[in-house]
A and B are shown apart, each in its own frame.
Chain A
């Protein structure tokens, strides 16, 4: 673990693996007063504090001395998400993977995915293949972001598959669209997919 400076209200803990992130997240749940929030992401956990209650020196001591281990993703609920594979960037992904657009669809829908974390926007899941060995080749983000990505867009970037819960700007490669409601603040569980949720994509013919 490497601790990086992040202003006067936080430290950013960086790990070599996703397992490191998950292990730290589990170990740090029982946080001392003054820790406001843990923000997990791909290889980091941002730890926000109220510096009037817990100084950064004390935070650093607590983060480095609390025992932690690598951990696997929790096993959560299973969700099937119907997808129309009509994304504008299917051909770009096919080129990156040196295969046909149909094969992109086959490989994407054959994989079982699991949510590693939620970020960017409310309910936006970062999905990785549940079987790490079945990882698909990484895909670069678009060199310029789209100003508008439609609601329900299913997209790829780096090692992740994401789903845009609502229309927003975005730089990921679009491969399809779903009608599933990823986020509804009025639901008891606003996010359809949370860390650990297993996701399967079912191909829908438009």
Chain B
């Protein structure tokens, strides 16, 4: 049940999402920033962009509207009456006022109620969109939290109130539920293409990088997903002058481990990039669970 305070705030003229509890990490994200690399500002934005776009489409929002990205679960939110919402991305026990909420389904609250996201069982990042989007203040043209640069809205804490934006022009689509498979808990295959410094690896290291099954490290975050496995040897040593990085660049650290850069990657970096994950495979990175097996598949031919 909601406290009288929560009820009062949810029924106000300016509706808000009120954060009741956060155990893990919950961030506001939209589709990020572009064109600010000359200031050292990276793209950031939703890690699982397909889940973000889908959640927004389900409630009739423009795809770039700000939504919540919740890592692993452990989050409870108070929603006002008359609020359309949808949860996509990770799968797990998600309830609305105690009733199970199906993934990828737009629902409307008739009364103020509580949304609870339990521990994810498939994937690790839930996306929660509300109709109207989260109208928190923009920083440099985006509402995304960049965790590396500490730009944008602070990670959510209990007691935060997030304003809900005005009704969008589009209606909630009649097909309010989409059959999308849950993120796999088995082997994840990522398509990759050569990066600028592939030849810095020995031939043996290149074979290993593309041949072995890697494990997603628990030491992974929005800056990068570290892959654990055999050590990769460099054929070439010495320092590489800093150069521009991309989401999906696979850097080889001095300790011989590959790290796939995430949305909050540094704009430039000095470790050699051997491969780059293709656009189509990028979102799978967002849902890798610690220890999950990963294989890299080199796509031949010209992009």
In the assembled complex, the CB of B145 is this many whole angstroms from the nearest CB of chain A, namely 12
For the complex, is B241 an interface residue (Cβ under 8 Å from A)?
Answer: yes
> Which residues of chain B come closer than 8 Å to A42, judged between CB atoms?
241-243
Tell me how many residue pairs across A and B have CB atoms closer than 8 Å: 132
Q: Interface digits, A7-26 against B, CB 8 Å rule (1 contact, 0 not)?
A: 11110101000000000000
Identify the closest chain B residue to A42 (Cβ): B241
Centre residue among A9, A56, A124, A190 by max chain B CB count within 10 A: A9
Please determine whether A43 and B241 come into contact, CB atoms closer than 8 angstroms.
yes
> Which residues of chain B come closer than 8 Å to A124, judged between CB atoms?
40
For the complex, is B41 an interface residue (Cβ under 8 Å from A)?
Answer: yes
> Which residues of chain B come closer than 8 Å to A8, judged between CB atoms?
193, 276, 278-279, 299, 303
For the complex, is B1 an interface residue (Cβ under 8 Å from A)?
Answer: no
Please determine whether B148 and A46 come into contact, CB atoms closer than 8 angstroms.
no
In the assembled complex, the CB of A123 is this many whole angstroms from the nearest CB of chain B, namely 6
Please determine whether A119 and B40 come into contact, CB atoms closer than 8 angstroms.
yes
Given contact pairs A41-B242, A185-B151, a sample of 5 additional A-B residue pairs in the complex whose CB atoms are under 8 Å apart: A7-B277, A41-B243, A46-B244, A46-B245, A183-B40
Q: Interface digits, A184-196 against B, CB 8 Å rule (1 contact, 0 not)?
A: 0100001100110
Identify the closest chain B residue to A7 (Cβ): B276
Q: Of the candidates A38, A57, A141, which one forms a contact with B302 in the assembled complex, judged by CB atoms under 8 Å apart?
A: A57
- The stretch of B74-82, B181-189, B264-272 that contacts the partner chain: B264-272
Whether A36 touches B246, Cβ cut-off 8 Å, given contacts A12-B196, A185-B140, is: no
In the assembled complex, the CB of B300 is this many whole angstroms from the nearest CB of chain A, namely 12
In the assembly, what is the distance between CA of A36 and CA of B45, in Å? Answer: 15
Please determine whether B195 and A5 come into contact, CB atoms closer than 8 angstroms.
yes
Please determine whether B241 and A190 come into contact, CB atoms closer than 8 angstroms.
no
Top 6 closest pairs, chain A to chain B, by CB: A7-B276, A46-B244, A39-B244, A119-B268, A42-B241, A4-B196
For the complex, is B219 an interface residue (Cβ under 8 Å from A)?
Answer: no
> Which residues of chain B come closer than 8 Å to A57, judged between CB atoms?
302
Q: Interface digits, B231-255 against A, CB 8 Å rule (1 contact, 0 not)?
A: 0000000010111111011000000
Q: Of the candidates B35, B150, B194, B249, which one forms a contact with A36 in the assembled complex, judged by CB atoms under 8 Å apart?
A: B35
Whether A46 touches B246, Cβ cut-off 8 Å, given contacts A6-B196, A37-B35, is: yes
In the assembled complex, the CB of A93 is this many whole angstroms from the nearest CB of chain B, namely 16
> Which residues of chain A come closer than 8 Å to B273, judged between CB atoms?
6
In the assembly, what is the distance between CA of A42 and CA of B270, in Å? Answer: 10
Identify the closest chain B residue to A55 (Cβ): B303
Please determine whether A120 and B196 come into contact, CB atoms closer than 8 angstroms.
no
Q: Interface digits, B137-149 against A, CB 8 Å rule (1 contact, 0 not)?
A: 0011000000011
For the complex, is A126 an interface residue (Cβ under 8 Å from B)?
Answer: yes
Whether A36 touches B34, Cβ cut-off 8 Å, given contacts A8-B278, A51-B279, A120-B267, is: yes
Identify the closest chain B residue to A125 (Cβ): B40
Please determine whether A121 and B149 come into contact, CB atoms closer than 8 angstroms.
yes
For the complex, is A166 an interface residue (Cβ under 8 Å from B)?
Answer: yes
Whether A38 touches B148, Cβ cut-off 8 Å, given contacts A51-B303, A120-B242, is: no
21 residue pairs from A and B, CB less than 8 Å apart? A6-B195, A6-B276, A8-B279, A9-B246, A10-B244, A38-B37, A38-B38, A40-B38, A42-B242, A44-B243, A45-B244, A46-B244, A117-B38, A119-B244, A121-B149, A121-B267, A123-B40, A141-B270, A168-B148, A183-B40, A185-B139
> Which residues of chain A come closer than 8 Å to B140, judged between CB atoms?
185, 190
Please determine whether B239 and A120 come into contact, CB atoms closer than 8 angstroms.
no
Identify the closest chain B residue to A144 (Cβ): B254
Centre residue among B273, B279, B303 by max chain A CB count within 10 A: B303
Q: Which of B199-215 contact A (CB under 8 A)?
A: none
Q: Interface digits, B267-295 against A, CB 8 Å rule (1 contact, 0 not)?
A: 11110010111110000000000000000
In the assembly, what is the distance between CA of A5 and CA of B250, in Å? Answer: 13
> Which residues of chain B come closer than 8 Å to A14, judged between CB atoms?
196
Q: Interface digits, A161-177 against B, CB 8 Å rule (1 contact, 0 not)?
A: 00000101000000000
For the complex, is A101 an interface residue (Cβ under 8 Å from B)?
Answer: no
In the assembly, what is the distance between CA of A12 and CA of B268, in Å? Answer: 12
For the complex, is A118 an interface residue (Cβ under 8 Å from B)?
Answer: yes
Please determine whether B248 and A122 come into contact, CB atoms closer than 8 angstroms.
no
For the complex, is B39 an interface residue (Cβ under 8 Å from A)?
Answer: yes
